[in-house]
Amino acid sequence: AQSVTQPDIHITVSEGASLELRCNYSYGATPYLFWYVQSPGQGLQLLLKYFSGDTLVQGIKGFEAEFKRSQSSFNLRKPSVHWSDAAEYFCAVGRGATNKLIFGTGTLLAVQP
Amino acid sequence: SAVISQKPSRDICQRGTSLTIQCQVDSQVTMMFWYRQQPGQSLTLIATANQGSEATYESGFVIDKFPISRPNLTFSTLTVSNMSPEDSSIYLCSVEEASRETQYFGPGTRLLVL
């Protein structure tokens, strides 16, 4: 069955520290992979996506993610976190004509001053 | 990407009533979707809104409870019928532009049912 796992429900980092949010997926074929961010009281904003090609993808706001097929992972990284990055982050997988998305349970990021 | 708006942005409703949520896009899009995000939960796809035909519902969601319309390529509505407190959620529409294979989300409608 298709699924997305985000093992970390809640993460706290200090401002300026590096960040890595984990995402593992289960999918029958090569998936399309996405990271979205949801700030408090807001909708979802697309950070980045991976369809094919270079396994390291760059996104907005200084985020990047690396696709590792052997580990079925698509972890999100940022070298230096800003207080405004505090939000909930969702990993999603999809493929096909309708590209239905399956979302992970999300990781809530808190940033300490 | 397309600019997506939803109305209302939030509402408080009494149980047994119905609420219709509107989703408007500033350009024609091929696909429109409706999601539910229950408190503290992730997003679950309710249905795909098909232009000019009946929506395609996911398992666990039925047309009688969540009727959907999509009269054209820029507009869709989702109705939450005969509401109960369990329907308290954020309802989000998303769109997928032709050949982009990427979904963009509206700001969501925050619904509280008392």
Comparing alpha-carbon positions, the chain B residue that sits nearest to A106 is B42
Using a CB-CB distance cutoff of 8 angstroms, which residues of chain A are in contact with residue B45?
Answer: 100-101
Among B35, B31, B50, smallest CA distance to B90 is for B35
* pLDDT computed for residue B40 by the predictor: 85
Are residues A99 and B101, on separate chains, in Cβ contact within 8 Å? yes
For the cut 70, the answer to whether the pLDDT of residue A97 exceeds it is no
- Got the DSSP string for A18-46? -EEE--EEE-SSPPEEEEEEE-TT--EEE
Which residues on chain A are in Cβ contact (under 8 Å) with B43? Answer: 44, 90, 101, 103
Q: Taking residues B34-46, what's their average pLDDT?
A: 92
Please answer whether residues A10 and A106 qualify as being in contact, where contact means their C-beta atoms are separated by less than 8 angstroms: no
Output the pLDDT for position A6: 96
- Residue in the structure block whose two tokens are 């094919």: A52
CB of A106 within 8 A of CB of A90? yes
Q: How far apart are CA B23 and CA B96, in angstroms?
A: 13
Residue B32: is its pLDDT beyond 90?
yes
pLDDT at B101: 79
* Torsion angle, alpha carbons of B3, B54, B41, A18, to 10: -40
Q: How far apart are CA A80 and CA B61, in angstroms?
A: 42
pLDDT tens figures, A52-72: 889 999 999 999 999 999 999
Convert the pLDDT of each residue in B68-109 to its tens digit.
999 999 999 999 999 999 999 999 999 987 677 789 999 999
Shortest distance between the Cα of A41 and any Cα of chain B, in A, equals 8
Distance set, CA A26 to CA A5, A106, B54, B111 (Å): 8, 16, 30, 32
* Rounded CA separation A105/A87 (Å): 14
CB B96 within 8 A of CB B35: no
Q: Do A104 and B42 touch (CB under 8 A)?
A: yes
